[in-house]
Amino acid sequence: MTHAAIDVLGIGNAIVDIIARAEDDFLIRHGMAKGSMALIDEARATAIYDAMGPAVEVSGGSAANTIVGVASFGGRAAFVGKVKDDSLGRAFSHDIRAVGVAFATPPAFEGPSTARCYIVVTPDGERTMNTYLGAAQDLHPADIDPGQIEAAAIIYLEGYLWDPKNAKEAFLKAARIAHAKNRIVALTLSDAFCVDRYRAEFLGLIRDRTVDVVFANEHELRALYQTADFDTAVAQLRADATLAVVTRSEKGCVVVTRTGTEVVPAAAVERVVDATGAGDLFAAGFLVGLSRGREHARCGRLGALAAAEVIQHLGARPEASLHALAQENGLLG
């Protein structure tokens, strides 16, 4: 691979998270399935916001969280995602640039407002998400800058953004440009419901090598292969993917290659406060390691370290320097 000016470039939904704590009965009252992610319209978004208690606004979005994690590790990071030129859009743009991520996607001046996700965190740390996608869905192939894609060692694609036709075309354009320059293309499956909608397409992306690295959790993996048996799903993944990583919460992760599987343990956690972003930050650590040519087990440990940091506080972005944590743990030179 030729030298890259950017370690990891993410393409995904640009979303502002609006997070509030609530008891389980709040979920029941408002018809929310605990631990799920539901897509909502603007009217439902307003109704949920009006019913929520005191809330914290934090810029989010799955791939954006990953890219912020990459920057926290000291990686050179860039993000492509669509916001509107409104107050939330300006907040998102400010927040991601403030942590050292290159973000140059032009905002929309018309159409739906900036995307937002209303996250209800129950006392057990579980998060239930209600997402209004708004402007985030308007990412077009024209928003993909070939020069920026060519400059990145790894392109990271968010499965959540596979819904809109234009965004799908933007993904495929980015993958083609990346592979022409011998770059790595990674995909996160994002959500089991997402996998249910696009199973055949996701399998196609993996099998035809449009993506080189796949991130999934246990639920997404089982949904992908329509089996309740974890080992059966892993065996099928080994046959399909060049490199895949399956996260298993407190069980750590399994790195899957054509030659075998390797279990990497989870990092120690004192108390789970908010599980939001665990998978996103795991991907950040793994990708930073991969961009630096580290062996897969060390990449997994970097991912576990980042996931452990983010679940011990509210919000899906790191509060401590992941670079410093990695150095303390002897994982980064």
What pLDDT band is residue 314 in, cutting at 50, 70 and 90? Answer: confident
Position 27 in a domain: no
Token output for 153: 């060692």
Smallest CA-to-CA distance from 286 within 299, 301, 305, 304 is with 299
What pLDDT band is residue 1 in, cutting at 50, 70 and 90? Answer: very low
Helix then strand then coil, in percent of the chain rounded to 5, is 45, 20, 35
Residue 156's identity, in one-letter code, is Y
Position 103 in a domain: yes
Position 68 in a domain: yes
User: What pLDDT, in 10s, does the model give residues 50-101?
Assistant: 999 999 888 889 999 999 999 999 999 999 999 999 999 999 999 999 999 9
User: What pLDDT, in 10s, does the model give residues 98-120?
Assistant: 999 999 999 999 999 999 999 99
Q: By residue range, what is the domain housing residue 250?
A: 6-13+62-111+135-328
Position 251 in a domain: yes
Pairwise CA distance, residues 247 & 19, whole Å: 24
pTM: 0.92
**CA-to-CA separations, 107 to 4, 69, 87, in angstroms, rounded:** 26, 23, 12
Position 283 in a domain: yes
**CATH (domain of 171):** 3.40.1190.20
User: What pLDDT, in 10s, does the model give residues 160-204?
Assistant: 889 889 999 999 999 999 999 999 999 999 988 899 999 999 999
Q: What percentage of the chain has pLDDT greater than the value 90?
A: 85
Smallest CA-to-CA distance from 208 within 175, 170, 159, 247 is with 175
* Averaged pLDDT score across all residues of the chain: 94
Sheet holding 213-217, edge to edge: 102-103, 77-80, 6-11, 152-158, 184-188, 213-217, 243-247, 253-257, 260-264
Position 119 in a domain: no
Task: Tell whether the model's pLDDT for residue 2 goes beyond 60.
Answer: no
> What is the sign of the dihedral through the CA atoms of 121, 220, 144 and 242?
positive
Q: Where are the alpha helices (DSSP H) in the chain?
A: 24-29, 42-51, 62-72, 87-98, 146-150, 165-180, 192-207, 218-225, 230-240, 278-291, 296-310, 322-328
User: What pLDDT, in 10s, does the model give residues 9-38?
Assistant: 999 999 999 999 999 999 999 999 998 889
Pairwise CA distance, residues 297 & 303, whole Å: 10
Position 79 in a domain: yes
The number of folded domains in the chain is: 1
Position 126 in a domain: no
